[in-house]
Amino acid sequence: MDSLPSQTFSVEITDNHIHAGAVAVPGAQTSEWLLNSPDPPTFWEQIVGVINETAIPRSCRKNPNKKVSSSSSEKQSIFKTIITLLQRVFPILKLARNYKASKFKNDLMAGLTLASLCIPQSIGYANLAKLDPQFGLYTSVVPPLIYAFMGSSREIAIGPVAVVSLLLSSMLQEIQDPVADPVAYRRLVFTVTLFAGIFQASFGLLRLGFLVDFLSHAAIVGFMAGAAILIGLQQMKGLLAISNFTTKTDVVSVLKSVVRSVHQTWYPLNIVIGCSFLIFLLVARFIGRRNKKLFWVSAIAPLISVILSTLIVFVSRADKHGVKIVKEVKEGLNPISIHQLQLNSTTVGLAAKSGLIAALIALTEAIAVGRSFASIKGYNIDGNKEMIAIGFMNIIGSLTSCYIATGSFSRTAVNYSAGCESVLSNIVMAITVMVTLQFFTRFLYFTPMAILASIILSALPGLVDINEAVRIWKVDKLDFLACLGAFLGVLFHSVEFGLLVAVGISFAKILLISIRPGTEEVGRLPRSDMFCNRKQFPMATKTQGFSIIRINSALLCFANASFIRDRIMRLVEEDEDGDDIAIKDQPKQLVVDMCNVMSIDTSGIIVLEELHKRLLLHGIQLTIASPKWEVIHKLKKTKFVERIEGRVFLSVGEAVDSCIGNASKFPSP
């Protein structure tokens, strides 16, 4: 390609404004630059580039221009490369460079505060997942330790969460009854956890983080709200000491079960204990939210509730008067569970499906929580790295008697408020839970089930965000439809059906926008060379003899090409009908602004050719403006540029000026 001609620039300062002027470059010359631009990267080059960019650290890439002076410097370079790779896999290694004793003090206090909230919540969430209490504690030991070494979020608190616990119980008890055969149910849970971890790690390794984005923010808001209401209704069993409770999760079945229990024997003491401590927990939560300095009140309230309620039951022997208690919590650290995985059973397909659904929900919550607090602290986290870390912690967790763990918003907020400095707070929390498992589980024997229900109920208000739902309604009605669909689907059918509805509506929105993209007629703003939507900017003027239409779609492809062609022809025909006789006598030009079109396929090119032919029948010439690199490359390959006689320009302004200049060379008829 010929070298570009040198340009001279001048700067003029008038009336406190700086005008940078350049020697005007003819539109024909810029068009030539555009048409003679080099070919874009091929498909395989793009794949290699993505792999190099995402999988290989920048400091580890080979620089062909860099010369190695000696073997010692080469060894030093290899050593630095190894250190960089290790730090990339285990971000905790970066802490050694600037970690101080004062930071450890903050992490220690944050970890202990976190443990005081985590221990009672983990027991309650295990009960929600239809597992024995110790499995909730197990899940608060191994996954946080693994994440502390592999994760990049400093504030996130790892462990069992309410939504995933409900999701597991709702999906798996249809496959295996947890009451009839708790051992088989437990094995199924471990198998699902293994599949969830494999899916999560695979998403990260293959850079498939965009899959999580199919669960839009609006869908998550609706899903969380519906799940919160279901979780709350499920706690009626523990709060009211209902014996025969439904295994279904929809709101109708749960309410029927509560109504039918009216005729059974009631235990007022159970209700009094549960409701009293629920009020205490809600008041503590209110105090912690109103005064940030008193965050520890809401953090330590669940542990205080467990201790006090256990003492009350033990002293009064309330378990003899109808108060249901936890009973035995197995002592000791996490046992190995690799032999309990059911990889050869007939339910392995259902386990994989359940693992995929749970993996997506867990990833969505963890990444959302991590990014929220990272933005507050002013740093970024890599979604793909987070997926790998969460995936590996669940894979190892499934081998050590844990079920699916993820980031908890409520515990992360406590961790952040407690002043955590790094992921070491997760390690402190895990060690505290280990000590509890080893020495203090015997003291949980008389803990009432009602207090676990109260702890879960007190954490649910944070899952229902009414203000956000109202904001979604005001901003985007289709987003609100996805939010409402997820909410009603979870509430009246099942958790997985609600997810399916939300994803379906989100896909429908994407397809609607892709298949029926917008096209707009643009005009020149007064005293400028900018062309904008004439409906949005009524002051924009139309250039006589021109129809300038902008395509508002990133893709011009088989799905939307015909629709765009018909819309353009409709706008052109409307312009013809609206023009007066004097304007009709002038040469007609249609300028298609493709500044938004990132890619075009063969169907899109064929439609452009059809549009060109139909316009010629109307005596109108087609001109292309602002095509992107890949688009102009394909238009040249198919010789479409030759068919329109090279009328391709860098901008709409150049296209209009060039066409006017060419038209002025010919006498008017």
Question: Which tops the pLDDT comparison, 246 or 628?
Answer: 628
The token pair at 655 is: 């296209």
The pLDDT value given to residue 294: 83
Q: Is residue 165 part of a domain?
A: yes
Percent of the chain past pLDDT 90, that is, above it, reads 31
Asked if 342 and 445 sit in the same domain, the reply is: yes
Has this prediction a pTM greater than 0.85?
A: no
Mean pLDDT of 100-118: 88
Q: Is residue 269 part of a domain?
A: no
Kindly report the length of the chain. Answer: 669
**Cβ proximity of 303 and 123 under 8 Å:** no
Asked if 453 and 528 sit in the same domain, the reply is: no
Asked if 455 and 520 sit in the same domain, the reply is: no
Binned at pLDDT 50, 70 and 90, residue 58 comes out as low
Asked if 336 and 195 sit in the same domain, the reply is: yes
Asked if 181 and 320 sit in the same domain, the reply is: yes
Given 435, 463, 491, the domain boundary residue is: 463
Structural domains in the chain (count): 2
User: Where in the sequence is the domain holding 181, given as residue range(s)?
Assistant: 102-213+275-463
Close Cβ partners of 602 (under 8 Å, ≥ 6 residues apart):
638
Q: What rounded mean pLDDT belongs to the chain?
A: 83
H helix runs in 235-347, sequence order: 236-240, 251-260, 268-290, 295-316
Given 424, 446, 463, the domain boundary residue is: 463
Asked if 111 and 186 sit in the same domain, the reply is: yes
Alpha-carbon span 220 to 232, nearest angstrom: 18
Q: Please give the C-alpha separations between residue 20 and each of 23, 529, 651, in angstroms, as whole numbers.
A: 10, 15, 19
Question: Which tops the pLDDT comparison, 138 or 3?
Answer: 138
CATH, residue 636: 3.30.750.24
Picking from 127, 159, 231, the residue whose alpha carbon sits closest to that of residue 457 is 231
Q: Which long-range contacts (CB under 8 A, 24 or more apart) does 346-351 make?
A: 347/175, 347/176, 347/188, 347/191, 348/191, 350/175, 351/175, 351/188, 351/191, 351/192, 351/195
Alpha-carbon span 578 to 572, nearest angstrom: 10
Q: Is residue 525 part of a domain?
A: yes
The pLDDT value given to residue 409: 85
Picking from 438, 575, 603, 597, the residue whose alpha carbon sits closest to that of residue 518 is 597
**Cβ proximity of 30 and 649 under 8 Å:** yes
Asked if 535 and 408 sit in the same domain, the reply is: no
The pLDDT value given to residue 510: 83
Q: Is residue 35 part of a domain?
A: no
The pLDDT value given to residue 612: 92
Asked if 537 and 620 sit in the same domain, the reply is: yes
Binned at pLDDT 50, 70 and 90, residue 9 comes out as very low
**Cβ proximity of 596 and 549 under 8 Å:** no
Q: Is residue 141 part of a domain?
A: yes
Asked if 379 and 524 sit in the same domain, the reply is: no
The pLDDT value given to residue 283: 93
Asked if 454 and 529 sit in the same domain, the reply is: no
pLDDT digits (tens, 9 = 90+) for 206-227: 887 777 777 788 888 888 888 8
Q: Is residue 83 part of a domain?
A: no
Alpha-carbon span 148 to 194, nearest angstrom: 19
Given 427, 444, 463, the domain boundary residue is: 463
Least confident of 241-255, 281-295, 363-377, 537-551: 241-255
Alpha-carbon span 232 to 454, nearest angstrom: 9
Asked if 529 and 417 sit in the same domain, the reply is: no
Q: Is residue 200 part of a domain?
A: yes
Binned at pLDDT 50, 70 and 90, residue 188 comes out as very high
Asked if 439 and 528 sit in the same domain, the reply is: no
Alpha-carbon span 551 to 541, nearest angstrom: 19
Strands 555-556 and 599-600: what pairing? parallel
Q: Is residue 353 part of a domain?
A: yes
